[in-house]
Amino acid sequence: MLVAVGLLISVAVAVHVEAKSRATPTPGACESSVTNCGTDKCLTFGRTTQVCTACANTHAPINGTCVAVADAAVTTAGCAKSDDATPDAGVCEKCGDAFVLFQGGCYPKDPATSLICATTSTDAGKCGTCKDGLIPNTAASATTDACDLCDSTCKTCSEKESETKCETCYEGYYFDSNTKTCTACPTNCAACTDANTCQTCKAGYLLGTGTCDACASGYLPDANNANCFSCSVENCVQASAANTCSKCGPAFFLSGSGTSATCGTCPTGCDQCDTDTNHQNCDTDKCSEGFFYTANSDTTKNYGTCTKCTVENCKTCSSTACTACKEGFGLVGDTAKTCTACSIKNCGICNDDVTKCTGCKAGFGPVKNGSAITACNQCSTGCESCLNLGLGLVCDVCSNSSQVPVDDECVDVNAKVCTKDPSSGSCASCLNGYMFYNGACLSPYKASSMGICSKDNQFLVGEALVCKECKAGFVPIDGTCTPIGDINKGTTRVAGDNVCMKADGTPVEKTATKCEACKDTNNNYFFFNGGCYPITLSSGTSVGSKLCSAATDGKCTAAATNAPFPLDTNTGTFTLCPAGCGQCTSNNNALTCTNCSIGYYNSASGSPFNCTACPSGCTVCTDATTCTTCWNGSGPDANGKCPDPPSSSSSGLSGGAIAGIVIAVLLVLGGLGGFLGWWFGCRGK
């Protein structure tokens, strides 16, 4: 038995049978076509549906779109404040009988037009069923949301024992019947049975032995993604045999057959042209960007024409007005709206006021003064978007969807470091001692050198590196340093839409560096070591879901299955494991190690574990000389050696030492010296 010498993390245990584990919405940046929505107030669910959750004060969200308060549509929807007054804060607090409330907006019950309801209901404020990515809220009313969010990876979910459980998954994920969660398939895989076995590949990739591979240059896949054929036909995207095109790209149509097949050009402004009229007209609503569709006067015909928008640099329009501008232009004007270039170079979104940039172009990241973007600087090579953390830009999404951002570089997926988000060129979670940050995985050194989290505040939960205290204005949410404004959304100092709190129950100050308590009316967050952790946000990949399965009043009430740290239900405390131990149990205040942390191996013959440091730079080893995984996710060289971690002068940490971080930061005795010695001193072995 190992005597517990760790600092105890106080978590008062309470019983609350009505606590529900719901996915917590995290609004973010809006697409360029969205107008009059507050900064970072757009919510995406169901994979492709984006709605505004809070508009400018003169507008209100009606079916996901910001509509002027004076517009009849707002009255028709019954959008009002809770006291029936006209909305004046950019949100609806209640809706009319034919509408339901969802995330600050009113949505029609009619499934033909609603973005929320899949089927209707006669009950006030309720949908019969909800659209993909949502689950009906049994407590729904005119003033309470009709639907709750499923986990972001779940296509459909249900409620069982007060928790939401996945039932079906989106493409690129597989269903785990034991945990009722959805887990990412291998890269470029559309359907799989587990994390290593692909059944069907995404378009353009071929199924190998459980993996998906792209066709070589000059070759195209067939319709079943089973073969690659040499094909030189211009604008062809799919072939049925050598030099036999079977499908053309957007704005082109297949003409002829066999080896004589070519790709003809559709009418100007048409992405998909009609076969019934010899490709002289456009299929319904298949116009290119900058064109609008006009249906045929004969309503039995499923084709029409595409006409160029009259406003220069307009992205989408009707026959009378521009509705959204192309990237780099803002839609300005009261009636005769025009597209005017954004004032800031490389700004992508600047609606209403072209001097105020709300989002940079792809490949550029924002430089901010407070919340205002003052410049858009270029991201690293191959990076689609990047974040400015005060000490420079860090890539968070790669242009090539088969790559992921690791330490500000877009690299091929390494499953030992990054669990890839199959829908984008980013990570869903990080392993092997890397820290997750907004879709990127950062080594301990990078997280420290970029000012995200200093080495003294880093610690491990399983293989995930998390932070217990951030720089001013940021607080740990699920172990990631998050801007306070992104988690505390209340407009006053009272505990409303705020999660990260002070010990006295009021929201933390704007300059805070950590949380002292957590408050969440949905009982989704619990307090742990300076941060607030969700129990269901990205379940299976979030740190919080691996620690806790139920929470009440900001406190964990039940430890998750296989949680690394024991939760004492009598005192309500998590007890951290001793140095080198990644998982332990507790009995009468004595700890027994049941699994070693990364960077350590069990030198005992069985249990209890005796955790001994791996060779320098190694995170997974079987003994003192045999390494299988290095600190950067690579394997050792021919001599069994790992590459050196970043130098000590760079304030970094990694490998076996990283495993000791959890104790270096938190243990009162013993762990600090051993941990620092490993990282800064052992590389010369």
3-state SS record for 533-571: EECCCCCCCCHHHHHEEEEECCEEEEECCCCCCCEECCC
Partners of residue 44 on adjacent β-strands: 50
Judged by DSSP in three states, 661 sits in: helix
Structural tokens at position 655 = 């490998």
> For 94-144, what is each residue's pLDDT tens digit?
999 999 999 999 999 998 889 999 999 999 999 999 998 899 988 889 899
Question: What HEC string does 474-495 produce?
Answer: EEEECCEEEEHHHHCCCCCCCC
Question: What count of residues does the chain have?
Answer: 685
What is the per-residue pLDDT for 162?
54
> For 36-87, what is each residue's pLDDT tens digit?
888 778 888 877 788 999 998 899 999 999 999 999 999 999 999 989 999 9
What is the per-residue pLDDT for 275?
82
Mean pLDDT of the residues in the chain: 82
Judged by DSSP in three states, 93 sits in: coil
What is the per-residue pLDDT for 648?
41
Q: What is the mean pLDDT of each run of 10 residues along the chain (685 residues)?
A: 36 31 60 79 81 91 93 94 90 94 94 90 92 88 90 78 74 79 79 81 74 83 86 93 93 93 94 86 90 90 92 90 90 85 92 86 85 88 83 84 88 85 81 90 89 90 93 91 80 60 91 91 84 72 84 88 86 82 88 92 86 92 91 89 68 37 35 34 36
The span from the CA of 29 to the CA of 537, in Å, is 18
Helix boundaries (H) for 176-322 = none
Reported as type and span, the H/E element at residue 324 is strand 322-325
What is the per-residue pLDDT for 26?
61
What is the per-residue pLDDT for 17?
29
What is the per-residue pLDDT for 252?
95
Task: Quickly tell me which residue has 């009430």 as its tokens.
Answer: 557
The span from the CA of 408 to the CA of 418, in Å, is 13
